[in-house]
Amino acid sequence: MPMLDLRDGTRLYYKDWGQGAPVVFAHGWPLNGDMWENQMMFLASQGYRVIAHDRRGFGRSDQPWHGYDHNSFADDLAELLAHLDLQNVTLVGYAMGGGEVTRYVGRHGSARISGVVLIGATTPKLGQSEDYPHGVPKVVFDNVRSGLMEDRAEFLRGFARLFFSTGSDDDDVSEGRLAHVHQMALQGSLKAAHDAVTACAETDYRDDIGRFDVPVLVIHGERDAFVPFDATARQAAALFPDATLKVYPGAPHGILFTHKDQLNQDLLQFLTR
């Protein structure tokens, strides 16, 4: 398996398919790079080089005790781009991965980057605070952490269903998709999953957003039950200097699966702009 030895000795797994202009994907909590298989298969078939890593602590990457914060995640991504010597990269971040790529630009600049796509992302800030009343209340994240500590396997089984939920009685998702998401979630370490909840909740990307000088496409499910639209994408689209917002009516958090064809076409349109 292709592994990158990071600055602290952590080994980062990544997959690298196809040839052409590079597109680098950053996955969501608590999954891994396999969640992008539909998008990677499509874009590689369209003549793009597609790369997805498993964030430290998740998937096939090492599981160190420390480093589950967005500065570390962004620095890991920077090492990956440098290792592969990528230029004119389109970064695509989903949920927590959206925070990762946003912090990357804020911390490392856009010299290697031609554009950014944020899908169901946690930007500009997911958790509620005095200066960000739009966010999700702290008790929600407390419950997630306690659920992980009480019975991680069962809690993540419920997460898999919430991933596809719109809060409607007619939500329809295959058992295979539920099993796939659950399996990916269980591949990560408990420590990584626990600490990354805090990173998702408390990281504020507004300063990072102010440093952007590349186009951004913001895509979000209207009925995202995990990363609420009003708490994130609605605010983010107004803050980025050059952003386009696309809202998928009635769509859940898991639009990579439920709306894969629409999403693939939107990605391709952004890449060929």
pLDDT, position 214: 98
| pLDDT tens digits along 217-271 | 999 999 999 999 999 999 999 999 999 999 999 999 999 999 999 999 999 999 9
Q: How many domains does the chain have?
A: 1
Q: Which domain holds residue 266?
A: 3-271
Residue 23 main-chain phi, psi, to 5 deg:
-125, 120
pLDDT, position 168: 66
Tell me the one-letter amino acid at 127.
Answer: G
pLDDT, position 38: 97
* Environment class of 150 (CB within 10 Å of its CB; exposed 0-12, middle 13-18, buried 19+): exposed
Cis check: omega of the bond before 124, within 30 degrees of 0: yes
C-alpha distance from residue 187 to each of 40, 182, 225, 226 (Å): 20, 9, 23, 20
pLDDT along the chain (273 residues), means of 10: 96 98 98 98 98 98 98 98 98 98 98 98 97 96 97 95 78 87 97 97 97 98 95 96 96 95 98 96
Percentage of the chain modeled with pLDDT above 90: 95
For residues 167 and 134, the answer to whether their CB atoms sit within 8 Å is: no
Q: Which CATH number fits the domain that encloses residue 39?
A: 3.40.50.1820
| pLDDT tens digits along 29-43 | 999 999 999 999 999
pTM: 0.97
